[in-house]
Amino acid sequence: MKKIDKISVLLVIPTYNNRNTLRSVVEDSLKMELPILVVNDGSTDGAPDTIADLGIKRLDLSKNKGKGIAIRAAAQWAYENNFTHIITMDADGQHSAKDVPEFIEKIKINPLSIVLGARDFESTDTPESSKFGRKFSNFWVRVSTGVSVSDSQSGFRAYPVDALRRLRCLSRRYNYEVEILVKGIWAGLAVQSVNITVNYNPETIEASHFRPFVDNARISLTYTYLVTRNLFPLPHRVLYGPKTAERIKSFFINPFRGLKLLVTEKSSPRQIMFAVMLGIFLATLPLIAIHSVAIVFVATRLKLNRLIALNVSHFCAPPIVPGMAVELGYFLRNGTFLTEFTVQTLGHEALQRIGDYLLGSIILAPILAMLAGLITYLIIRIYRKIKETAVKKEVRKIA
């Protein structure tokens, strides 16, 4: 995508059964003098009829398909009508349109960015579930991308229309906002934030259709998918960042992206060493599909650096370490290494290979963990010694 020279912003209000709040939200938004599109996500309570006299552009979906589908439909409409960006605002009355100008200023600073509305939880009677949800979600965004964000669960945000149309997401409902944020960062979009007010009262809470158990479960599954995808040493689809040659280069350096984190971490060499050992140990074990969850849980219990443990676990992504485990298990059971990779050995004898993997990984895990821990400890000590020496030389020059 070429640089955006001139921006054109559309304010999008997705709504589903918000009869008691929709009109006030739209009337408040009209004061911003921006084009407005209300996306009716299959409402059955007559909510869209409450704004029929306001002359607002409306996009009606035949049935309730979820917030993610509504946002994607709005992006397509915006593209067809020559808008470069959309700002999404919830219809439950929790957001205030007076914050919209702040989003536009951020878009002007960097059009190729997602702008998040950071909710002020200090001045409102915020539900504890919302506070926990934001902390939980922000943590997993950082794990998935390495980027710290202010409020990954805020529905008040701005997107480039091009990104919404080109990035492929599996999610359809509230979890779409999580997935598009992570994949947007992977694609090369920057993330900006603006402080926004939030209105929590019985009416707005009742108007919200966010179901804590069901929707948080969906969001958790989405993060499991995103973190698992991020473990594989394969480049993400970059739309707005490095050129092809740099993307090819990233294919080879991707597993080593945690090295900078290791050598610059302020923890002691011993603490970093133990975090590395934990990450390698658990990532090597046959904890299929739950490696990341296990690493975070154990690291938290042991008060070790979770991000370091997760980052180094990339070294154990398939096929190298699992392949080593299979070979070791096969050798221990047969006295020779597996050299024939055929339909017979990998297909018909799949159960045997799984057994080899289980056996080999249990033995390999502590070996790799100790080796990685020792190498890490030495690298950190040498790096810090060199840095300390360099600082002393600079001090002597100044003196």
**DSSP-assigned states of every residue in 52-70:** GGGT-EEEEESS---HHHH
Q: To 10 degrees, what angle do helices 291-302 and 212-231 make?
A: 100
Do residues 183 and 312 share a domain?
A: no
The answer to whether residues 226 and 262 belong to one domain is no
Can you give the residue range of the structural domain that contains 136?
9-231
Q: Is residue 247 part of a domain?
A: no
Comparing CA positions, the residue from 182, 162, 158 lying closest to residue 170 is 182
Within a domain: 372: yes
Which tokens hold the place of 323? 């392949």
Q: How far apart are CA 18 and CA 288, in angstroms?
A: 42
The model's pLDDT over 288-325, given as tens digits with 9 standing for 90+, comes to: 778 878 888 888 888 888 878 877 887 787 778 889 99
Residue 244 falls inside a structural domain = no
- The CATH number of the domain holding residue 162 is 3.90.550.10
pLDDT in tens, 121-159: 776 666 666 777 788 788 888 878 878 899 998 999 999
Mean pLDDT on 352-363: 93
User: Cis link prior to 319 (omega < 30° from 0)?
Assistant: yes
Residue 143 pLDDT: 75
Mean pLDDT of all residues belonging to the chain: 84
Whether residue 268 sits in one domain with residue 149? no
- Please write down the long-range contacts of 268-273, taking CB distance under 8 Å and 24 or more positions apart: 269/376, 269/377, 269/380, 269/381, 269/384, 270/377, 271/304, 271/305, 272/305, 272/308, 272/376, 272/377, 272/380, 273/373, 273/374, 273/376, 273/377, 273/380
Nearest residue to 113 (alpha-carbon basis) of 7, 196, 188, 12: 188
How far is CA 393 from each of CA 385, 397, 398, rounded to the nearest angstrom? 12, 6, 9
**Which secondary-structure segment (H or E) carries 15?**
strand 9-15
Please give the backbone phi and psi of residue 240, each rounded to the nearest 5 degrees, phi first: -130, 10
Mean pLDDT to the nearest integer, 170-174: 88
Q: Is residue 389 part of a domain?
A: yes
Question: Is 91 inside a domain boundary?
Answer: yes
Structure confidence at residue 89 (pLDDT): 95
Question: What domain count does the chain have?
Answer: 2
The more confidently predicted of residues 168 and 384 is 168
Residue type, 44: T
50 or 308, greater pLDDT: 50
Q: What is the 3-state secondary structure (H, E, C) of 201-246?
A: CHHHHHHCCCCHHHHHHHHHHHHHHHHHHHHCCCCCCCCCCCCHHH
Q: Which pLDDT score is estimated for 250?
A: 45
Q: Determine, yes or no, domain membership for 220.
A: yes
Q: Are residues 222 and 358 in the same domain?
A: no
Which of 33-42, 190-199, 257-266 is predicted with the least confidence, judged by mean pLDDT? 257-266
Residues facing 118 on adjacent strands: 195
- Pairwise pLDDT comparison (299 vs 83), residue with the higher score: 83
**Mean pLDDT, to the nearest integer, of 189-202?**
87
Residues 83 and 175 in one domain: yes
Question: Is the pLDDT score of 262 beyond 70?
Answer: no
* Residue-level pLDDT at 256: 47
Q: Evaluate if residue 3 carries a pLDDT over 70.
A: no
In angstroms, the CA 156 to CA 277 distance is: 40
Q: What mean pLDDT is predicted for residues 365-380?
A: 91
> Does the pLDDT value for residue 208 go beyond 60?
yes
Q: Which of 35-44, 195-204, 260-269 has the lowest mean pLDDT?
A: 260-269
pLDDT at 350 over 50: yes
**What pLDDT sits at residue 299?**
86
> What per-residue confidence (pLDDT) applies to 309?
85
Percent of the chain with pLDDT over 70: 85
Q: Is the pLDDT of residue 181 over 60?
A: yes
Please check whether residue 299 is in contact with residue 306, taking contact to mean a CB–CB distance below 8 angstroms: yes
One domain, residues 222 and 288: no
Least confident piece of the model among 107-121, 193-207, 257-271, 376-390 = 257-271
- Per-residue pLDDT for 5 more than 80? no
52 plus 194 within the same structural domain: yes
User: What angle (nearest 5°) sits at the alpha carbon of residue 289, between those of residues 287 and 290?
Assistant: 60
In the three-class reduction of DSSP (H, G, I as helix; E, B as strand; rest coil), residue 349 is classed as coil
**366 shares a domain with 292:** yes
Residue 253 has pLDDT above 80, yes or no: no
Name 265's Cβ contacts closer than 8 Å, sequence gap at least 6: 272, 305, 308
Residue 186: partners with Cβ closer than 8 Å, 6 or more residues away: 145, 236, 237, 238
Q: What is the pLDDT of residues 97-114, one digit of tens each?
A: 999 999 999 999 999 999
User: CB within 8 A of 242, min separation 6: which ones?
Assistant: 188, 250
| Same domain for 51 and 172 | yes
- Whether the per-residue pLDDT at 219 is higher than 60: the answer is yes
